[in-house]
Amino acid sequence: MVDIHCHILPGMDDGADTMETSIQMAEMAIADGVTHVVGTPHSNSEFKFDPELIRRRRDELQAAVGDRLKLATGCDFHLNFENLQDLQHNPHKYTINQKNYLLVEFADFSIPPSIDGTMHQLQLMGLSPIITHPERNAMLRTKPDRMYRWLHQGAYVQVTAQSLTGRFGSAAQHNAEKWLDEDRVHFVASDAHNLKSRPLQLRAAYDVVAERRGEEIAQALFVDNPLAAFEGRPLPYEPEQADPNAKPMKYRKRKRFIFF
Domains of the chain: which residue ranges? 2-231
Q: What's the distance, CA 247 to chain centroid?
A: 29
Query: Per mean pLDDT, which range of 98-112, 140-154, 200-214, 236-250 is the poorest?
Result: 236-250
State residue 247's pLDDT score. Answer: 54
Report residue 2: phi and psi, to 5°: -125, 125
Nearest in space to 33 (alpha carbons), one of 220, 215, 223, 233 = 223
d(CA 134, CA 179): 10
Q: In a 3-state reduction of DSSP, which class is residue 146?
A: helix
Distance between CA 217 and CA 97 in Å, rounded? Answer: 24
Give Cα 25 distance to the centre of its chain.
Answer: 19
Separation CA 118–CA 196 (nearest Å): 36
C-alpha to C-alpha distance for 182 and 176, rounded to whole angstroms: 10
Distance in angstroms (rounded) separating the CA atoms of residues 164 and 190: 11
Check residue 257 and give its pLDDT: 35
- As a whole number of angstroms, the distance between CA 88 and CA 159 comes to 27
Considering only 67-71, 151-155, 234-238, 251-255, which range has the smallest mean pLDDT?
Answer: 251-255
pLDDT at 253 exceeding the cut of 50: no
Q: Are 130 and 156 a contacting pair, CB within 8 Å?
A: yes
Q: Give the pLDDT score at 246.
A: 62
Q: How far apart are CA 185 and CA 233, in angstroms?
A: 18
Tens digit of each residue's pLDDT (9 = 90 or more) over 36-69: 999 999 999 889 999 999 999 999 999 999 999 9
Could you please state the CATH topology (level 3) that the domain comprising 2-231 is classified under. Answer: TIM Barrel (3.20.20)
Q: How far is 164 from 191, CA to CA, in rounded Å? A: 13
pLDDT digits (tens, 9 = 90+) for 161-210: 999 999 999 999 999 999 999 999 999 999 999 999 999 999 999 999 99
